[in-house]
Amino acid sequence: MSLLKKSLLVLLTAAWLPAAHAELYVVVVQGLGGMDEFDSRFTSQREKIAAASESMAPGNVITFSGGEATRDALLAHFDMLAADMSENDRVAIYLIGHGSYDGEQFKFNIPGPDITDADLAEIMGTLPGRNHFLVSTASASGAMLDALETDSRILVTATRNGNEKNATEFGSYFAEALASSVADINKNNSISIQEAFDFAERGVAGFFESQGKLATEHPQIRGDGAASFNLARLQAVETSDEDPRISALLTRRAEIDTEIESLQLRRNEFSNAEYIERLQSLILESAQVGEQIDMLREGNQADAD
């Protein structure tokens, strides 16, 4: 058997084996609007974020809104989620709504007792692993940065501090980014935290410029790995085909993409040489799988003709 055939046989065999990979869990919380205008705006953002998140975390997207978005319900959910997660899993938390800051404590406004920055720090601190993500589109949300910022998480806020208390525009642009080809700067069919943030930051600046007003919000991003943490895919990943051999290879290619994302998030765990070696190996395998898919499809097309 030739080396090429042996390599292809290995690839085909590997494609049928299950591959363990990190799970992404998404929690979208819609807070109180206070007015119909804001209720409608926040509902639209929640729906857009949840729909886009399904492309990256199918079956792992949970939303809270209305009377269900209480402090007790949220704390109970995160307790349960932390118990179910592994060290390799990640969480993306979206807080959509209004916030407040009294000079000492940030609060995200929900029915009943609000969620505080101390609550959020405790929630994120109990999650296994690292590289978790939290974004708050709320007014005054920058006030929570000091309480939550660590080397092991990525934070995005709509404002730079607690004194920017006006209702924000940031959330609308961030939600839009998750389904925007314009936001996909590197054209890899995915939207990363960094790409969504950059798109939203540009949108906010453009909004205030078009209104001829001084900006009342200045979005902030903290933490490493924002460029390699993908929040949404722009197109559905192809995972099946009439030919079971191609279906297996499509599944493996999707698994390799997930492994690459996981490796990028864990880059600090490896030396530079080891990281590059692992990344190149995965990229090479992905290319080989793609070539094998093309070969099988060309063969199937020739048979059909």
**Residue 89, pLDDT above cutoff 50:** yes
What fold, for 24-233?
Rossmann fold (3.40.50)
Q: Give the residue extent of every domain in the chain.
A: 24-233, 237-304
Give the pLDDT confidence of 166-177 residue by residue, as tens digits. Answer: 999 999 999 999
Give the pLDDT confidence of 239-270 residue by residue, as tens digits. Answer: 677 888 988 998 888 888 778 777 766 777 88
Residue 149 to residues 117, 132, 142, 145, 273, Cα–Cα distance (Å)? 11, 11, 11, 5, 29
* Predicted TM-score (pTM) above 0.95: no
Residue with tokens 């990943």: 237
Task: For residue 117, give the nearest of 87, 131, 89, 138 by alpha carbon.
Answer: 138
